[in-house]
Structure 1
Amino acid sequence: MTEAKKHVIVKPFDKVELRLPVEVLLSNPTYKKRRDLFLQGFAVVQSRDASDPKSFYAVAGIHGLPYAPYDLLPGEKMSPSDWNKSETTRWGGYCHHGDILFPTWHRPYVLLLEMLIYEAARNIIYDDKANNYPAGSETDEYKKEVEKIRMPYWDWASPSTLTNGVPSILFDEHVLIDNPTQKDVRIRNPLRAYTLPVDLGSLILVGDRSNPAQRPYSPDSTTPYTPKGYATVRHPDDNYISSPDATGLNVVTFCSSVFRPVLYQVLLVNEWRQFSNHGDGEKEPQDENYGHYSSIEVVHDAVHDSLGGTGGHMSYPDIAGFDPIFFLHHSNVDRLIAIWQACHPDVWIIGNSYTEGTFTQEVDKYIDENTDLTPFRKSETTYWTSKLVRDIKTLGYTYPELEKNHQPRELLRSMLSYYHSTLYLQYHWRLTLTVMKNKVGASFQIRVFLDLPTANASTPISSPNFAGLISIFARGKETQCANCLRNANAVVHGNVDLTSCMKRLFIDTNPEPSGDVVTKSLEPSQITLVAVLKDGSGISLEQAGLISAQYWIFDEGPEFDLEYENWTQKLMGQVYPPQTSQ
């Protein structure tokens, strides 16, 4: 009798092990056996048939396209409240974006792939059809190492990234692995790309689909079409091949001007609602929250933007999950969330009804810590919830920064020092922006330049006048959904740190306060905002849906001090809409 099929259960690991930086896992000889098993396990998961719920295609598809139910058993019916193709006002993917469950939903998502890679790697040893792991002391070492496999993370804001960009191994076509009976076995690198086993997307081709030397899609700033047999790409060139140089240079620029300064401020946010997502519904800054207009999702969006470029999969929410680097990125996002939790241990989810909707979650339906994080099952009949994934150690992993039992204040100080891009400057200048998320119907950027009134979409971000940007990680019109149409007024809050650019251009950052009056050293007319689509073309700020842009000065004290009693923020001026003189 054939055994009935069962659902995929996301199982926590029995023992807590470290998630390592991807550079450490892949290059440190200490972890060579673990590295080789991880790469082989990942390759196995990628090789599975698209119909297998344990395949990389099925797991990647949870995030967006192909808008299909995950792990639906034969004879099992979808819930009447689930998304269906006739709904033009609802997101067809499972992922939470723009709401309070963004951090916690992605936690079991990464854990699912981590578990599948671990299981596949374990089977390589224990179901050893090739006889590569014969009984003996060396195989015993592999058996010990396989139990320590966890998803590595890529710290896109680290000093190493600031210097080197994306680790080169993430672009290598092949890697060499060992086993007890063979050395330097050449396999395809599963971290470089994933080849689509079926057509993905619906845009019209501009060339011959059988000719990889032609772009298979129209680069019109919406979701790219990827035919069967094509690999995922990052900053593709005219031959639809990833460009490591373009990706690396872009990431280095983003690291210095966006990732590090924004992340520094994110760590100081002390409320879950603002920390957790880029669209908490507020239209005005909150004076009592230093980190307002910074969130873990805002900086997350910028990482997607920096890696994908024009036509790269990471730039588009519907297909980002198919690039393997997505999971290294989200492992790092999870790391930063866990660190933030340790810095603010008493802060947690307070439920609300501000949601964009998902495959199983109706738009603007109440969500809280007990909301099911579908489709991630804890058992055949239950799903993981935010409450259940709050403590990562119960899931069987942790991160290097959390190994020691730091006091929250001590850990926060350590992380701020690590990511602080302008140490020991008393005054920090920041531009806050509020943008309508879905007006454009595509992903785009708003770039900020100082003392360059002629700046436009063609002005390179390598310009010394470039201060930073915010990335709007929005779905294209080809895949518009629930919320994108119904929730037309959804907003994204972001901020750009102007301080480093001001120093570079010799603009005074140290005005002398006199009572409640601050002498301005930067005027609104010196700040130029440029909206740029993914194809590089410019649009007006009104077309981009910019609601407001204001700049502020923060007094952090003569030396960095969390207890500085005059730690304050002052509104310095309004950049958009421009104020007319009376």
Structure 2
Amino acid sequence: MTTVGTRRSVQDLQAAYDRGDKKPLEDVMRAWRGIKSLSPRDQNSFFVIGGYHGEPFEVRKAVDALSPTDIYAYWGGWCNHGNILFPTWHRAYLHRLEQALQTIVPGVMLPFWDETSPESLAGGIPRALTAEKFELDGELIDNPLRSFTLPHDLTDDYWLDNTGGETTPYFKPKGYETVRYPLSGLVGNATDRLATWQHNAQYLNHAACTEKLDSNIKAWLSGSGPDGAGPTPSDPDPSGFGIYTMFEKCLEAPNYTVFSNTTSAAAWNHGASGATELVVPLEQPHNDIHLAVGGFDLPGQTLDSGQVTGSNADMGENNTAALDPIFYFHHCNIDRMFWLWQKRHNQTEKLEGPINLGTGGYPGTSSTDNQGPTPGIPPGTQLDYTTPLRPFTNPKTNAPFTSEDVVNIEKLGYTYGPGSLEEPTKRVPAAVKAGGSKKILTVSGIDRARFQGSFVLSAFATITGANGQTTTRPLGHHSVLSRWSVIKCANCRTHLNVIAHFPLSTLTDEEVENATFSVKITQRGTPATGVKIVTSVN
């Protein structure tokens, strides 16, 4: 019989610690310090497990299906994004990390950062994940949950992904320590190192940095606008554009296929109109948190709102995100949301509903959708619940885990303690008008190969009133979690078109008829050229 442990929220562990029950949080700290201290060749080390998601690529050259002489391609890691394996692959990933933690402290469980809790809305990130120091066994140590220092260089030079003869933007040297908003972590060439040094010199005080990070998280969660208005007890996301609302809506997704990933949801929404509710996939608020921690101005906010430009931190980019410990506390909450969706839709034993929603394969159900060829799976292969979730092995079969193997989390040995959004809500954000328009704004024509790293689309409506005056209103944002060099990534370049959908429920039909629509792109690196954004209303 499988022993079932409970993954508690970080906030719960912190509250217990503050009451004097220190062991649960101390055990987490002890386990994390342990796996980070292991040899980088140890299969239970954080360096090895953190590297499954992205960098370092060079230690797995043999799995690349393409010829190393193809200078326009490099393998982008084992992670699955933009397809139906996104929730299940990351579930297996967390299970592997938890097993490593338990080799240090038997029975310890990976906590989740409850991102939609009242504590997060009011205070941002739990301090256990941001504090500079932690007292453990009578010794004041560096907080093992705050960052990670690389034991080896991270570089993809092997793939000839260089610019101007210099090392790539996402090269990280041995001794580099991961950073979060408002700091920058671009150190791959002389130009970037100088810019990063100048930027980070403004933020040398850890407490002040943490305050800015928490402020950024709160703004993203609540969808606050340029006036900086935050959540209220009665309405945690009055704009309806924040991460809180995205999580609420993803739990309403009608089937696993469109719940699981942005590619399938975009295809579903492309056919939506009238009374059809837009689907929010689990992967969308997931992307938002990555960019909130990794550093982007809040979409729609002006620079005088206090948000920091120039932050290029590790969580905001796929190649390095999993080397920041906060990645796992974030993804533990993503997995909890997956479990909440399963319970709400009676799919805790078997994932049901259509994988292939259309003839010829639905978007997001192919091994070459969005992220490109899945390692070890031929291009164009239909993905399903029996597709291997490499590199994770099921000890019961000694074969790769599949989605079928990880459907019931209690059979894997864990469940979740209390957290937010466990009960369905019927909250209507303040910005949504009674009798608001059912029409949808579709944004397309955006090739992510033109962008360096992750970026955000923000949509706006400029409305002309009867007196001829115009007002501009935000319609929401769409985060794209990407890589610094997409066009050269074999796991990316087969599906490059970004399509985003924005409900127009904050406008009346009359306002929609009298509106012009625009899209702002917030990005890193050199501004993209030749981007022809297409907008349509249906």
Query: Which residue in the other structure is 2:153 paired with?
Result: 199
Distance in 1 separating the partners of 2:475 and 2:218: 14
SS of the residue corresponding to residue 175 of structure 1 reads: strand
The reply on whether 1:416 has 2:416 as its aligned counterpart is no
Matched-pair contact (CA < 8 Å) for 1:195–1:231: yes
Which residue, out of 73, 91, 114, partners 1:155?
Answer: 114
**Mapped partners of 1:362, 1:246: distance in 2:** 45
Contact 1:370 1:387 in 2 (8 A): yes
Q: Which of 274, 285, 290 is the matching residue for 1:304?
A: 290
Q: Which of the residues 448, 472, 494 maps onto 2:459? A: 448
Matched, 1:477 2:485: yes
Q: In structure 2, how many angstroms separate the alpha carbons of the residues matched to 1:252 and 1:199?
A: 34
CA contact (8 A) 2:282 2:338 kept: yes
Shift of 1:483: 3.9
CA gap 1:42/1:288 in 2 versus in 1, 3 angstroms: farther
How far apart are residue 296 of structure 1 and its match?
0.8
Correspondence list, 1:65-464, <5 A = 65-68=55-58, 82=65, 85-87=68-70, 88-89=72-73, 91-122=75-106, 147=107, 149-178=108-137, 184-201=138-155, 223-235=169-181, 236=183, 238-239=199-200, 243-257=209-223, 258-280=242-264, 282=267, 284-287=270-273, 290-309=276-295, 310-346=311-347, 347-348=352-353, 350=355, 352-353=365-366, 355=369, 356-379=372-395, 381-400=398-417, 414-417=423-426, 421-422=429-430, 426-427=434-435, 431-434=441-444, 435-451=446-462
Q: Identity percentage over the alignment?
A: 27
Q: Find the counterpart in structure 1 of residue 15 from structure 2.
A: 27
Quick check: 1:15 aligned with 2:3? yes
Rg bigger for which structure?
A: 1
1:64 is paired with a residue whose SS is coil
TM-score by length of 1: 0.69
Q: What does the per-residue CA deviation read over 1:49-99, in whole Å, with 9 as the maximum and x for residues that have no partner?
A: 2122211011111001112567xxxxxx956x7566445446330011111
Deviation at 1:224, TM superposition (A): 3.1
CA separation in 2, counterparts of 1:165 and 1:364? Answer: 42
- Distance in 2, Cα, partners of 1:496 & 1:157: 22
State whether residues 448 and 528 of structure 1, in contact with CA within 8 Å, keep that contact through their aligned partners in structure 2: yes
Say if 1:484 and 1:44 are closer, same or farther in 2 by CA, change over 3 A.
same
Partner of 2:235: none
- Measure, in 2, the Cα distance between the counterparts of 1:106 and 1:244: 27
Helix, strand or coil at the partner of 2:380: coil
Give unpaired runs (5+ residues) of structure 2: 158-162, 185-198, 224-241, 296-310, 357-364, 465-471
Report which stretch shifted further, 428-437 or 464-473: 428-437
SS of residue matched to 1:230: coil
Shift of 1:398: 1.4
Q: Displacement, 1:272? A: 1.9
User: Aligned residue for 2:467?
Assistant: none
What CA distance in whole angstroms lies between the structure 2 residues aligned with 1:427 and 1:227? 56
The 1:189/1:348 distance shift into structure 2, 3 A limit, reads farther
1:39 is aligned to 29
Tell me the CA shift for residue 493 of structure 1: 4.3
Residues 18 and 431 of structure 1: is their aligned pair in 2 closer, same or farther, counting only changes over 3 Å?
farther
Is 2:249–2:279's contact at 8 Å kept on the other side of the alignment? Answer: no
Structure 1 position 363, deviation (Å): 3.2
Q: Which amino acid aligns with 2:93?
A: Y
Q: Deviations over 1:478-501 (max 9, x none)?
A: 78311433x1x44444444666xx
- SS in structure 1 at match of 2:483: coil
Q: Does the 8 Å CA contact 1:172/1:189 hold for their aligned counterparts?
A: yes
> 1:574 maps to what in 2?
none
- How far 1:259 moved relative to its partner? 0.7
Q: Letter of the aligned partner of 1:350 in structure 2?
A: I
C-alpha contact (below 8 Å) 2:76/2:319 kept by paired residues:
no
TM superposition shift of 1:465: 5.2
In the TM superposition, residue 165 of structure 1 has moved relative to its aligned partner by: 1.6
The Cα offsets for residues 296-322 of structure 1, whole Å up to 9 and x where unpaired, read as: 112211111111013100111011110
Residue 578 (structure 1) aligns with: none
Equivalent position of 1:140 in the other structure = none
Q: CA–CA distance in 2 between the matches of 1:69 and 1:529?
A: 40
Contact 2:249/2:280 (<8 A) preserved: yes
> Structure 2 vs 1, CA of residues 342 and 23 (structure 1 numbering), >3 Å: closer, same or farther?
same
Flag structure 1 segments of 5+ consecutive residues without an equivalent: 1-12, 71-76, 123-146, 179-183, 204-216, 404-410, 454-463, 503-508, 512-518, 551-570, 572-582
Other structure's SS at 1:342 match: helix
Give the CA deviation at 1:416: 2.7
Structure 1 CA distance, aligned partners of 2:248 and 2:93? 26
Deviation at 1:232, TM superposition (A): 0.4
